[in-house]
Structure 1
Amino acid sequence: MSRRILVVEDQEDNRQILRDLLGSAGYDIIEAGDGEAAIAAAKAEKPDLILMDIQLPLLDGYEVTRRIKDEMALKDIPIIAVTSYALSGDEVKARAAGCNAYFAKPYSPRLLLAKIKEFLP
């Protein structure tokens, strides 16, 4: 059974890049384009891992992460922030919200896949 990754990203071109990358690595992809859809998808699909953009419509990635981590059935799902927010302190803020790892855009596809494999051996 293939591992399922929820990709939370509001930009279609960025979702396409992740769709291609993760699909070629054998992962099944679930997509959400805004914060509210991300929470609904996490509850409905219970993915194995979540790639979370921070700058999202409706609810930002920090709030989405906090809400997911507050759900007993979802709290153990690893969340990797993948964001263009790369200022000093942004990684600390993402981890404080509950993210397990942090990647600034642009990122190395090879390094992102390696990090995903750490959580989904």
Structure 2
Amino acid sequence: MGARILVIEDNQVNMDLMSYLLTAFGHTVLPAADGVAGVAVARSERPDLILCDLQLPRLDGHGVLAALRGDPATSAIPILAASAAAIDDGGAALRAEGFTGVLPKTLEPEALLPALEAFLPAALRSAASN
């Protein structure tokens, strides 16, 4: 049984590749192309995990985090910040802000999937990562 993962990403190539990889490993992808849509999908679908780009149209990743952490219905969902920008402090500032973790925007399955699935309960991880 895979997880339901909300991917909030405005770059269609990145979205397509992440969707392909996650689906191939048994997860269901809930896509959103901007922060406003991402918040709406999170509230209606209550995913197991959220992977959120930081630089998004309409509402950036920090705004998504604030909206979801401020809502009791979504406050406990793990939210991972995804960024192509260099993160000098190892993600400490983003975790202090309230993100559950930080993932570099690598689209290499050997790096992306184990890092992402580390934030899921064991029962929702793909067989390849157990």
TM-score, normalisation: structure 2: 0.84
Answer yes or no: is the 8 Å Cα contact 2:51–2:80 preserved in 1. Answer: yes
CA apart distance, 1:89: 4.6
Answer yes or no: is the 8 Å Cα contact 1:63–1:97 preserved in 2. Answer: no
> Deviation above 6 Å: which 4+ runs of structure 1?
none
Structure 1 vs Structure 2: percent identity of aligned residues?
A: 38
> Structure 2 stretches of 5 or more lacking a match?
123-130
Counterpart mapping for 1:67-106 below 5 A: 67-89=67-89, 91-106=91-106
CA apart distance, 1:90: 7.8
Q: Please, what is the CA RMSD of the aligned residues?
A: 1.7
CA apart distance, 1:63: 1.4
Task: Measure, in 2, the Cα distance between the counterparts of 1:54 and 1:89.
Answer: 16
Answer yes or no: is the 8 Å Cα contact 2:7–2:50 preserved in 1. Answer: yes
Counterpart mapping for 1:33-112 below 5 A: 33-89=33-89, 91-106=91-106, 108-112=108-112
CA apart distance, 1:81: 1.2
Higher relative contact order (CA 8 A, sep 6+): 2
> Structure 1 stretches of 5 or more lacking a match?
none
Q: Which moved more, 1:81-90 or 1:95-104?
A: 81-90
